[in-house]
């Protein structure tokens, strides 16, 4: 017959032997979509989200002064053309919000702004750092 003390001792040994890696593991970062950043930023800017333009294209965020395109860093070049087009369609100043998920994405911010500056494009820029 096993005593209570022996049973408790055995149970403690079993519990100590259980790997705690699953308990102590770091949580994986939650992947956030472009829409997540768009909604939060546009709300703060008191803008309208996903405004349908006369030709059925959608401007990501329309504020009192700007027609804004949101893109992740690697799509910096595409954001230039889209923002210019949204500005043309709305009569508002083009803008780009570039979402940088990692520190190494900062290179895209530099590419975007150096291109805009070099060609004197009428585009305002903002960045969201998601790291």
Does position 42 have pLDDT exceeding 90, yes or no?
A: yes
List the domain boundaries for the chain.
31-129
Which conformational region is residue 18 in: left (phi greater than 0), alpha (psi within -120 to 50 degrees), or beta? beta
**Which is it for strands 58-62 and 66-72: parallel, antiparallel or unpaired?**
antiparallel
For residues 75-80, give the mean pLDDT.
98
Torsion of CA 72, 84, 77, 112, to 10 degrees: -80
Q: How far apart are CA 124 and CA 86, in angstroms?
A: 13
- Residue 93 · residue 124 · CB < 8 Å: yes
Q: 49-63 pLDDT, tens per residue?
A: 999 999 999 999 999
Beta bridge partners of 61: 49, 68
pLDDT at 3 (0 to 100): 61
pTM above 0.75, yes or no: yes
For residues 124-128, give the mean pLDDT.
98
For residues 112-116, give the mean pLDDT.
98
């Amino acid at each position: 017959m096993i005593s209570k003390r022996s049973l408790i001792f055995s149970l403690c040994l079993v519990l100590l032997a259980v790997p705690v890696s699953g308990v102590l593991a770091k949580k994986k970062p939650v992947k956030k979509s472009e829409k997540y950043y768009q909604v939060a930023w546009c709300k703060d800017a008191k803008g309208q989200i996903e405004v349908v333009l006369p030709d059925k294209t959608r401007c990501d965020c329309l504020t009192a002064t700007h027609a804004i395109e949101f893109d992740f860093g690697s799509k910096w070049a595409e954001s230039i053309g889209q923002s210019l087009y949204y500005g043309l369609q709305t009569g508002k100043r083009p803008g780009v919000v570039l979402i940088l998920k990692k520190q190494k994405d900062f290179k895209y911010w530099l590419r975007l702004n150096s291109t805009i500056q070099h060609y004197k494009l009428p585009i305002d820029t903002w960045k969201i750092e998601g790291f």
